[in-house]
Structure 1
Amino acid sequence: MISVCVRKRPLIHAECRRGDTDVVTTPGGECVIVHESKEAVDLTQYILQHKFYFDQVFGEESSNEEVYQRTAYPLVQHMLSGGKSTCFAYGQTGAGKTYTMLGLSPGKPGLYALAVRDIFAHLSTTYKYSSLLVYVSFFEIYCGQLYDLLDHRKRLFAREDGQKVVHISRLREVRVDSVSSLLEVISQGTAERTQGMSGVNPLSSRSHALLQIQLRDSNQQITGRMWFVDLAGSERASDAKKSDRQSRKEGAEINQSLLALKECIRSLDREESHTPFRQSKLTLVLKDSFVGDSMTCMIANISPGQSTTEHTLNTLRYGDR
């Protein structure tokens, strides 16, 4: 089961100072409208309205708690009952992906912390689950290569075994026993991710970050798994301030993996005989999350400003497809 949601962030002070106007409206719980300014041949101005419909649409007034309850909470419940869950955050740099996933502070948590809060609350209140252990791993995919964010960016390798199950060899897994210990692991990994980028604005994530939370019994058998995937900024390489060879390579790699992800979801939706998981490292690693007893939610994050209209439309079209 796959659901697609959209979250619009409010205009920030810098955009208001620039005179940027809000061109995105969210009239209902499932509709989002982009009001695009256009110029006719005779130079008269007109507004073109683009309407999109999704499973859920969150306006700028929605809190992380509300977004969590309606997107990731059902995924957490599915994981606790033994299933596989995946939550994606998608959108251009600055659209609010990291705010949605990480939050601002312990007092304003993101989806990571809210999910783990519920996982530990569930484990502590149910006798049946008292013997389960929580393990976390955190790695990034940068230019088609895997790097362990919990082990000094050590290079990792994804390989399929004889049963077509994908394993990531040498991936470090850390056992956590509380929300605070897991957030500590995440902040350690996030710092590694930022430092690992050379010549690129560190605020612009040019890698996909994958956080995996596993439940295991006393025999180390996996009894539930959840992925949080913070996808790389979806802007084109030509939009980068430094459009050098490395930036173009990064952009091409990001676009190729996002296209592969879209193709895999489309193929599964149509129940086609072949799903192209091998088209990118991202889809190969997440193959297990799309087959069998799995639930997936993609949260497309959009900026409301007129200056980012093209990016917003691209994000919404991608989510729509």
Structure 2
Amino acid sequence: MKRHKSSSKRGEDRIRVCVRKRPVMKREVKASDKDIVDAESTTTLTVNEPKVAVDLKPYLLQHEFRFDEVFDENCTNDDVYVRATRPLISCLFEGGSATCFAYGQTGAGKTHTMMGNKDTPGLYLLAANDIFSLIQSGKYGRGLHVWVSFFEIYCGQLFDLLNKRNRLHPREDGSHRVCIAGLTETEAVDSNVLVEVLEYGNSVRSKGATGVNPDSSRSHAILQMEIRDDNDHRNGRISFIDLAGSERAADVTDTDKQTRLEGAEINQSLLALKECIRSIDQDSRHTPFRQSKLTHILKDSFVGNSKTCMIANISPTQTACENTLNTLRYADR
């Protein structure tokens, strides 16, 4: 059995890594695709990788992983929100930055976790409901407003999802804070406005067919909610990032140049993100924010008063075994 344990505890209060296992789908049951992932507790899970010995005798290689939170197939979006994302909200009202990532291969349940559907709200909406409730309660003072922006990073370029995918340019001001010139912001007075923003933004987001999913997200979508007072002074900000599908190049059966470029850019930004989170976790003197557009833009979300939550989504079936192990190893590192 291979055991994987988190490397450091120093950044634990600032960075939490969670894993969510999605249920087996009906089509996978019909195809006799076995469930090989066991969520043994709220912090550990095991992957039973099928192997064949030299004498052709089949055996199982068990990989055990330990994370801050593990969500099994029976956990709802509400469960994920309460245990993983709700702890970020207080940071928002105390002048800080909070970031929530959804990571994993296409089809592992990232968008369901973040967006949900009409019957099951996702993390975006659950967080917004909490934020509006706190503002209305007056717990953190009066005159607070929520401003929303929604943009994507596609092939290293930024596009505004609330303004006809207009090209955007990140700039650093004198105090080295990254600002995005020309980004559209909309004031959200309630959750209904946020739903409209999400529906419109997702309708124009870059998608493409891969060997894994005919409607795969090929960009990183970033939804930001910023709390400001009546004087337009920023109180705090939360960013929700639905990362592009992390499937291997071998699974993307289209070999045209654009698909290869997309895949290379996605992999580069995911690697840069991992390096940034690792350096923060280990209290390194240098954090490599400039390695990708994604980490450069999110620089403010990692420094100072900040909290980060990574939710790795995995498929439980045997055919997805290699991608599942890759996702878990990425999250584990």
**What TM-score, normalized to structure 1?**
0.97
Q: Does residue 313 of the first structure (1) align with residue 322 of the second (2)?
A: no
Q: Map 1:6-21; keep pairs closer than 5 Å.
A: 6-21=19-34
**Which position in structure 1 is the counterpart of 2:54?**
41
Count of aligned residue pairs for this structure pair: 318
Name the amino acid aligned to 2:268: Q
Residue identity matched to 2:92: M
How far, CA to CA, are the matches of 1:311 and 1:47 in structure 2?
A: 17
Q: CA deviation at 1:219?
A: 1.0
Q: What pairs with 1:158-197 in structure 2 (closer than 5 Å)? A: 158-193=170-205, 196-197=206-207
**Which residue of 2 is the match for residue 91 of structure 1?**
104
The residue type equivalent to 1:165 in the other structure is R
Determine the structure 2 residue equivalent to 1:77: 90
**For 2:24 and 2:214, how far apart are their aligned partners in 1?**
22
| CA distance, structure 2, for counterparts of residue 260 and residue 128 of structure 1 | 35
Deviation string, structure 1 residues 198-243 (Cα, Å, up to 9, x no partner): 6666621110000000000111111010000000000123311312
Within the candidate set 286, 298, 301, 1:289 is matched to 301
Q: Is the 8 A contact 1:68 1:111 kept in 2?
A: yes
**In 1, Cα distance between the equivalents of 2:89 and 2:284?**
28
Written as runs of structure 1 = structure 2, the 5 A alignment for 1:1-321 is 1-105=14-118, 107-126=119-138, 128-193=140-205, 196-197=206-207, 203-321=215-333
1:6-33: CA deviation from partner (whole Å, max 9, x where unpaired): 0000000111111101000001110010
CA–CA distance in structure 2, aligned partners of residues 115 and 148 of structure 1: 22
Further displaced range: 229-238 or 30-39? 229-238
| Contact in 1 for aligned 2:272/2:291 (Cα 8 Å) | yes
Query: Aligned AA for 1:320?
Result: D
1:104 match: secondary structure: coil
Shift of 1:159: 1.4
**Cα drift, residue 81 of structure 1:** 2.7
Amino acid at match of 1:304: P
Q: CA deviation digits over 1:233-286, x for unaligned, max 9?
A: 001233113122111111110000000001111111222221110000000000
Question: Could you report, residue by residue, the CA deviation over 1:35-92 in whole angstroms, capped at 9, with x for unpaired residues?
Answer: 0000011110000000000000000000110110011101112212322100000000
CA RMSD, Structure 1 to Structure 2 (Å): 1.2
Which letter does structure 2 place at the counterpart of 1:258?
Answer: L
CA distance 1:128–1:290, change in 2 (3 Å): closer
TM-score using structure 2 length: 0.93
Residues 147, 154 of structure 1: 8 Å contact kept: yes
> What is the CA distance between 1:179 and its match in structure 2?
0.5
Q: Equivalents in 2 of 1:198, 1:98: separation in Å? A: 15
Structure 1 residues not aligned, in runs of 5+: none
Deviation, structure 1 residue 130: 3.0
Question: Is contact 1:166-1:287 (8 Å) kept?
Answer: yes
Q: Which one is further off, 267-276 or 46-55?
A: 267-276
Distance in 2, matches of 1:80 and 1:178, equals 17
- Residues 211, 37 of structure 1: CA spacing in aligned structure 2 closer, same or farther, 3 A cutoff? same
Runs of at least 5 residues in structure 2 that lack an aligned partner in the other structure:
1-13
